[in-house]
With several copies, the nearest count.
Chain A
């Protein structure tokens, strides 16, 4: 029975639902995620189906949410908590960096918890509802960081994240929630964290990217192909920590030209880590400098005209690729 296409948001909800159904150790909490279903309705219906003791609302206390999740995780539960917007996690990063991220190293106690963090811009959210904070999360020892781009991946990676014995930050690009759909199989299993995926083959250059920018890169690759026949590979990293270095290096070997694209700030963005990795491990394979196309170093602006200039998109990626292919 082929089902209709499923949105990115609905795919995440399916993973949450499955977790609640199959694992009695899973609990979910956060601001307004209960009866209301969350600011984006990702948890819609879950409290009704599983009860208010498994899916519940909290006060506006990010540090308490993350700290309590850590405590629960050490006691045999698998909390999956939501930050209403990832931006607000910045009020409590010490709970992730210092408390959750170091626990196993210090004490040998595992902390299987997932922090779901809606992120990213493109919808006039302004400086405080659009941030891309993966660079912060990836710099924290002991955390894993997952950033899917497709519904099927989101569903399968969220399952894997929740079954992982470590704290995992699961980044949900809000732009994808309702913009991206695909047909999803009825039978599915977790995807191993730390595996990238070639979304489009190519031999002339590779775009290393993740999240919403995967879709922009795919469109850009089409544009490049239409314009001058170039074959651009698009590698969706899917998981940033662990990072699939093998796939990255293979992609560089196959293309010799690298463009890194992300929606976060330039300086110290996660793209810098990818570039540094390539510059260290695949230097001899490069025919051109490693380029990054990112948001500039400014707060995410509100007005559409400004945000359009701020955010990378297919056209900007195409332009960069055309130039890179000439290099």
Chain B
């Protein structure tokens, strides 16, 4: 039995499609940034696309997500159209945050996705509370809370995981260990052998996974989710991966050893998946190339459409500070 390739062609192509969408959107965003056509920052998930893709693929409608900096595939996996992502980065009035927030700080709650706030760790208790509430209301939600290696050093990470453990809340705390927090490597962030060693201290299950293997993740997380949906409790899932660009596009990331990047480049999750699918006979190279071309066309169109979307009207500045009702 090979769990990795024990997947239908349709499902496998859907995974690849989400990863390709993210990659092609981010490539466009990078160009826009360097052309000075995006204000504020651009932060990319290059190399980490598998994680959001696999975790959303195994999720159900009621599930809740708190994506972090590099999780465009969470949004795409939950159905956010590329056009809305461009609207967000371009600060359009009809984007997910209506120009009130920018770049990676978005989320659509009708898709079960909370909008990220910058304070690392701060969303972890939010998704925990959200899952508690949904379950109380009779919806068997599972939560997915994403955090970087650096984010695990925040007090909020600790409080949230412990809180979820005490209340048996089924949240998968997905640590994306991409080896760096801005310029800071793991060695200056923590001393444990692996961040999965934190699990025992919360009395929860800890799982380590290859964060660049979308099919493997799909199988691992699928099984985990099924388990905790039935027998609610949190899990710490540590995905080993690599940030393949600078922290943001303003940062050339030159502090990252070149060899490290070269090694990981061979483990690019898009490449890995492509090779797996071809090797397992699930898809041909030509089919995958066609998929990529279709994705690229979709992304181009979404971008063009978003360009025509309206900018916020300054007169609306104060609208929505308070909810009314």
Contacts and interface: CB of A to CB of B under 8 A. Distances in A.
B128 A71 contact: yes
A306 B311 CA distance: 9
Q: Tell me which of B123, B318, B321 has the highest count of chain A C-beta atoms within 10 A of its own C-beta.
A: B321
B80 interface: no
A130 to B, nearest CB: 10
A67 B101 contact: no
A126 B105 contact: yes
A90 interface: yes
B183 interface: yes
Contacts of A27: 136
A67 B160 CA distance: 9
Interface in A32-53: 32, 34-36, 39, 53
Contacts of B166: 58-59
A61 B153 CA distance: 6
B313 interface: yes
B100 A105 contact: yes
A126 B132 contact: no
Contacts of A125: 40
B206 interface: no
A36 B317 CA distance: 37
A60 B323 contact: no
Interface string B129-172: 11111101100000000000011011110011011001000000
Interface residues of B, number: 73
Nearest to A109: B109
Q: Tell me which of B107, B154, B325 has the highest count of chain A C-beta atoms within 10 A of its own C-beta.
A: B154
B130 A63 contact: no
A76 interface: yes
B130 A104 contact: no
Contacts, number: 252
Q: Which are the 10 A-B pairs with shortest beta-carbon distances?
A: A67-B125, A71-B129, A68-B129, A303-B99, A302-B102, A303-B91, A128-B118, A36-B183, A71-B130, A124-B40
Given A165-B324, A304-B39, A128 B105 contact: yes
Q: Tell me which of A27, A61, A298, A305 has the highest count of chain B C-beta atoms within 10 A of its own C-beta.
A: A61
Contacts of B98: 108
A297 B325 CA distance: 20
A142 interface: yes
Interface string A292-327: 000011110111111011100000000000000000
B305 interface: no
Given A36-B183, A91-B154, A165-B323, A99 B102 contact: no
Nearest to A296: B318
B127 interface: yes
B312 A142 contact: no
Given A61-B159, A61-B163, A99-B119, A75 B99 contact: no
